[in-house]
Chain A
Amino acid sequence: MSVEQGMRKNKLRVQRGFTIIELTIAAAIGLIVMLGITAILVDSQRGWQRMYNTIYSDVVTDSYVAGKTFDAVVRRASRQRISLDEAGNWAEVYYYADANSAVVDRYARFYYDSDPNTGGRLYIEYGTVTSDGVKGASSTQTVCENVQSCTFEGAGRAAQMILILNDGSQRATVMSSAVMHNQ
């Protein structure tokens, strides 16, 4: 056999390609690997989304906002009086406009609106109040949405809010209590 013949034989062996069995096995292994990687990626994404929702979903952030707002407003209120709805649907606290105010001349009213069109909202209404008790609303703000229920209670100089938020996929309960600090 000449050198030229030997080289042609080598080339033939090198370029003979793959058999159908080799291709099938390779495809099956590739498929299993791809399926495994996809499953890991999907599971990672789900886990990440779940964790993100636990910390940053609307329900969770709204619950923090509601708790902080209630604490801040009640803590600056006067302990002279607090008005509470018998059914617990609203609470009204009174405070001084600023350090120069001689009497309590402002009010803040938390109330829960269970209108099914809005999905349940917690509002806070600010306004002025005269010494005769005449009130004038100046602004109303939405504290949070997706409110399932909200109850206000009083205990001595403390006011309590029990708020349940539910957007259908996540539920959060806020139990907040704050003492009215001012005279």
Chain B
Amino acid sequence: MGGMVNMAVKQLKSAAGFTLVEVMTAILILSVAVIGASGYRYYAALDARRAAMQTTGSRVGLLLCESWRGLSDPNTFDPVAQFSSELTITTATEASTLEYHYKAAGFTLLGVYTIATNGVSYYAVLSWKDVSIGLRALNVVVVWPPQGQIGSNYLYYYACKSFKLTTYASI
């Protein structure tokens, strides 16, 4: 008789459902999993975009560097005149700030240009220096803001990414 009573009590216990604490714990664990997955997706998308921007920035730098070096007279290089039919390229309005931050030390500035492609504004700072008789160093620095647009705050320039190239041309 006593055994049958115990069994009934056990059955009652097992069918009692979930307590509030159990449900809250389950929700908490699920929330952590969902927030973790969201964070992973956010950073994966962000890193993919950053990688694409870096690839484009390096290709823009290489394009300018090779085109400049290919000219028989490097003094005549004008990226706006040369690429305006294929690229959205203009002389940069933030030239003085970009020159201050990104022009190579001891080099003479050729120009600062804005190149817009894939929704991102890239800034190219071109400068040169005669390192010996008949030999000129050509410096190209491509700068792009991490969010795609440059801000008005000068401190923002410290957060920009850049790609630097130096090549040499005989003059």
15 more A-B residue pairs beyond the given contacts A40-B37, A179-B70, with a C-beta to C-beta distance below 8 A = A4-B1, A10-B11, A13-B12, A14-B8, A44-B37, A47-B45, A55-B52, A67-B59, A155-B70, A155-B71, A156-B71, A160-B63, A175-B87, A177-B67, A180-B70
With A54-B48, A177-B70, A179-B66 as known contacts, state yes or no: A10 contacts B82, CB within 8 Å: no
Cβ-defined contact, A162 with B44, below 8 A = no
Q: List CB contacts (< 8 Å) of A37-53 with chain B.
A: 40, 44, 47, 51
Contact among A14, A155, A175, A179 for B12, CB-based, below 8 A = A14
With A44-B37, A44-B41, A54-B52 as known contacts, state yes or no: A10 contacts B70, CB within 8 Å: no
A-B contact pairs, 23 of them (CB 8 A): A3-B5, A7-B5, A7-B8, A11-B11, A14-B12, A47-B41, A54-B48, A67-B59, A155-B67, A155-B70, A155-B82, A156-B72, A157-B69, A158-B69, A160-B67, A162-B86, A175-B60, A175-B63, A175-B87, A177-B63, A177-B67, A177-B70, A178-B66
With A158-B67, A175-B63, A177-B62 as known contacts, state yes or no: A51 contacts B48, CB within 8 Å: yes
B-side contacts of A180, CB under 8 Å = 70
B-side contacts of A114, CB under 8 Å = none
B-side contacts of A166, CB under 8 Å = none
CB distance from A79 to the nearest CB of B (A): 9
B171 within 8 A of A: no
Q: List CB contacts (< 8 Å) of B67-110 with chain A.
A: 67, 69-72, 82-83, 86-87
A-side contacts of B15, CB under 8 Å = 14
CB distance from A145 to the nearest CB of B (A): 21
CB distance from A37 to the nearest CB of B (A): 9
Cβ-defined contact, A177 with B66, below 8 A = yes
CB distance from A25 to the nearest CB of B (A): 13
